Structure 1
Amino acid sequence: MPKDAAVEEFAGLVRALKARDGRSYEALGRRLSVSASTLHRYCSGATVPEEFAVVDRLARLCGADEEERRALEAAWTRADDARRPPTPEPRAESAPGSEPAPERRPEPEPGPDPAPTPGPELDLTPGPERQTAPGPRAEPSPDPQPHPAPELDPVHARASGLPSERRRRRWGWPGVVGGALAVVVTVALGAVLLPGKAPGRPAAPPAPLTWTVASDLWENGCGHTYLVRRTPPPPPEAADARSWAAAQGAVDGGKTLVRVSVQGKGTAAVVLQALHVRVVERSAPLPWTAYRLDDGCGGAVTPRRFEVDLDRPRPVARARDGYDASGQEGRTIPAVAFPYAVSVGEPEELLVSAGTAGCDCRWYLELEWSSEGRRGTVRIGDEDGAPFRTSGAKGRPVYGYDSVGRAWITGEESGQGG
């Protein structure tokens, strides 16, 4: 396969995974611990990852099955080979387990008490001295150090048909010893950490559903209030609200809107049984100033949603109807009623509106599901996996942005009030 074709084949598979997931480059990059621009270069074919591990994590995150991941790994191998210069052929084959032959050096000039000529430093750990040229044999130390354990990687590499360097780059392990240790630790901890895992019983299969979350939404797409410690720069467009808020260290003021998109991963339907709210931390509301980001629009449709009062001791997600006022008579949009079935072809969007006046709350959503005799619960946080955070803004000074004067002005001046 031509070099460019190999790289494009790999990039096409990565683009397909990204399109299947539906999240932005920034959101996916955070999950993979790479920047949005780096992920974009993988998708465009401008760059081939040094290690397959990051691509494998992307495949798992996007719900790829075992066959798709094997095809992706094969495509990465071809693309990686195409981007690298050919490796020079070794001078001679070495027997399994043998040490590389030392580089031949010219014999030293005869002279009194010739010192031994050191060979190439192949072993960096302490051990008995080695001789690579004629000379007096070094006396063994009184308490010799043991030889280091032989490197196992070439054996595994020969068994798989891959060079040892490729094996290390493929999975991102710093060395074979670390890799072997990781396998041992994984096997040892599997019985404890894997859900449903117990001695004599196989691990429970993975959840049959997938979801995406967006938590920097504006009310009807028109506006939102943030609490900020100091005066922020001008407000962003709604699509850039997340990065703007993160740069200011802003916190949702009074209300947080969360949209969760859920769908099945296989042919079987998945039944959503219930939606719960778990508050994991409460403290006093932040004493910061409230800044109202508002486009001044007015939405004709109020979507159906779940309303949550975070000030209650045990908050409950209560389903509410929506309303469409765009027609002449208007119509009610029925609330989501559990149990509710989703599948690959029939996803569902759950909109949650959580509000507080008396706390700085950190909280999660928990979604119960069942499918083909199995049940489970998934915990849903913001796009970074952290809990959502909402702080009461009652009594705080409120500022709106004057686009003509290009300055933040008080709520009374802007007509927004507290």
Structure 2
Amino acid sequence: MPKDAAVEEFARFVRALKARDGRSYEALGRRLNVSASTLHRYCSGATVPEEFGVVDRLALLCGADEEERRALEAAWSRADRTRRPPAPEGAPASMPATAPEAVSGSDPKPAPEAASAPEAASAAEPVLAPEAVPVPEVAAGSELEPVHARVPGLPSERRRRRWGWPAVVGGALAVVGAMTLGAVLLPGKARERAAQPPAPPPLTWTVSSHLWKNGCGHTYLVERTPPPPPEAADARRWATAQGAVHGGETLVRVSVQGKGAAAVVLQALHVRVVERDAPVPWAGYRMDDGCGGAVTPRRFEVDLDRQRPVARPLDGYDASGQEGRTLPAVSFPYAVSLTEPEELLVSAAAVRCDCRWYLELDWSSEGRRGTVRIGDEDGGPFRTSGAKGRPVYGYDSVGRAWITGEESGQGG
């Protein structure tokens, strides 16, 4: 692939991740420990990061799945190769590092023991040809130049300088690592096993994050006066079109189901806040004047203002009969399967922050275990902003206008 095409392909991947997340360069840069200008250069194709780790963290932060991360890594590898100068015509793809005696001694000839090293390096040549750069010749008494070959698993040249590694040690390790990698990547069953992606989790889920309490009560924070409130079924489309943010509380329903006959044990539910800002300074718009219901469903309650929010299970209550009854809270662990799904209702509240957050569900099944990250319908984080002290409006259906209502402590 031509140089410009490889870099642009990689930049498109990074731009797509940023667009999916919706945060600014500065906000994402803080999470990745890079400057906003550096992240912008990745997105524009002006720079390819030296290490894949920074864009892999970006992919995880933006909710990318395993397949997307593998495609991103392949694009980064192609773009990364374009930064290195081509090997001189006729030169071997890799050469052994010069022994310390060759650097400090008066005789520039290599020691006899090193005579077999080029043959060992050439054995790995078919694997390492795209990845290696020849070591420049060294005159007697001169200082050995650092080796710029990039070998997975070894520190980069920049980190070797930062850690104070001698150049000769870094060069020797680069060659040894390259030769070892060549042996590992020889065709065979081991290579086939390494190439196989990890098995997907044995469960699936769907998410609804624009629920209204008891089917009618909810507050959105909106920057400009919005159109009339929608029907509850159209809430997501309406909120997306207005750029609205959940005010004070977000209700999330997660329907979890196994993929096969084997039971999947759900071990725990965690809350992961990925970004905190001050509450947005927008007015609140109530979807109605409040409503009640005969059934309060069991749910998990989350206080997003806490430094480490937890999902606390709460009992529900059914008052529809002559004698009310308690609906026991969900207690972990419990099992789901293809024929026995489960619904988790999460009520997350915020007063002092504009929080972006995910749910993380621990599972185990048939000797395997793992954690799935659950975000909103588009795969991004949920978002909840405090609404305390904001003006709150209700809709007058007779006058067909938003009118001022009482201020709401939590916007709903």
Matches of 1:413 and 1:263, distance apart in 2:
41
- SS of the residue 1:294 aligns to: coil
Q: 1:128 corresponds to which residue?
A: none
Flag structure 1 segments of 5+ consecutive residues without an equivalent.
1-30, 32-60, 62-183, 190-197
Q: In structure 2, do the counterparts of structure 1 residues 327 and 223 end up closer, same or farther at CA, with 3 Å as the change threshold?
A: same
Distance in 2 (CA, whole Å) between partners of 1:359 and 1:402 is 30
Runs of 4+ in 1 over 3 A off after TM superposition: 198-204
Alignment of 1:229-248 (within 5 A): 229-248=223-242
Residue 360 (structure 2) pairs with residue 351 (structure 1): no
Does residue 1:271 correspond to 2:268, yes or no? no
* 2:299 pairs with one of 267, 284, 305: 305
Identity of aligned residues (%): 83
User: What pairs with 1:155-234 in structure 2 (closer than 5 Å)?
Assistant: 203-234=197-228
Q: 2:245 is matched with which residue?
A: 251
Question: Match for residue 332 of structure 2?
Answer: 338
Q: Deviation string for 1:110-167 (max 9, x for gaps)?
A: xxxxxxxxxxxxxxxxxxxxxxxxxxxxxxxxxxxxxxxxxxxxxxxxxxxxxxxxxx
Residue 381 of structure 2 corresponds to which residue in structure 1? 387
248, 254, 258: which one aligns with 1:260: 254
- Work out whether 1:316 is the aligned partner of 2:298: no
| RMSD value, Cα | 2.9
One-letter amino acid of the counterpart of residue 389, structure 2? G
Q: Partner residue of 1:165?
A: none
* Residue 410, structure 1, aligned to residue 404, structure 2: yes
Cα shift readout 1:388-413 (whole Å, capped 9, x = no counterpart): 00000000000001111111111149
CA distance in 1, matches of 2:307, 2:290: 35
The letter of the residue matching 1:262 is V
Match of 1:373 in 2: 367
Counterpart for residue 96 of structure 2:
none
How many residues matched? 227
| Alpha-carbon distance in 2 for matches of 1:246, 1:295 | 22
Distance, in Å, in 2 between the alignment partners of 1:349 and 1:362 is 22
- 1:174-223 Cα shifts (integer Å, max 9, x gaps): xxxxxxxxxx9xxxx9xxxxxxxx96555432110000000000011111
User: Separation in 2 of the partners of 1:279 and 1:417?
Assistant: 21
Q: Secondary structure at the match of 1:349?
A: strand
Shift of 1:256: 0.3
TM norm structure 2: 0.52
**Are 2:223 and 2:283, in contact at CA under 8 Å, matched by a contact in 1?**
yes
Deviation track 1:264-290 (CA, whole Å, cap 9, x = no partner) reads 001100000000000000000000000
Q: Counterpart of 1:22? A: none
Q: Where do residues 53-92 of structure 1 align in structure 2 (5 Å cutoff)? A: none
Contiguous gaps of at least 5 residues in structure 2: 1-19, 21-64, 66-129, 131-151, 153-189
Q: d(CA) in 2 for partners of 1:413 and 1:407?
A: 18
Per-residue CA shift, 1:91-122, capped at 9, x if unaligned?
A: xxxxxxxxxxxxxxxxxxxxxxxxxxxxxxxx
CA distance in 1, matches of 2:217, 2:291: 8
* Mapping of residues 131-170 of structure 1, within 5 Å: none
TM-score, structure 1 length as denominator? 0.51
Q: Is structure 2 residue 285 aligned with structure 1 residue 291?
A: yes
Asked if structure 1 preserves the Cα contact closer than 8 Å seen for 2:304 and 2:349, the reply is yes
* 1:297 positional shift: 3.7
Contact 1:222–1:299 (CA under 8 A) maintained in structure 2: no
Contact 1:273 / 1:368 at 8 angstroms: preserved in 2? yes
Query: Hey, what's the Cα distance between the residues in 2 that align with 1:360 and 1:315?
Result: 14
**Contact 1:226–1:290 at 8 Å: present in 2 too?**
yes
1:5-55 deviations in Å (ceiling 9; x for gaps): xxxxxxxxxxxxxxxxxxxxxxxxxx9xxxxxxxxxxxxxxxxxxxxxxxx
Determine the structure 2 residue equivalent to 1:364: 358
2:325 is aligned with what amino acid? R
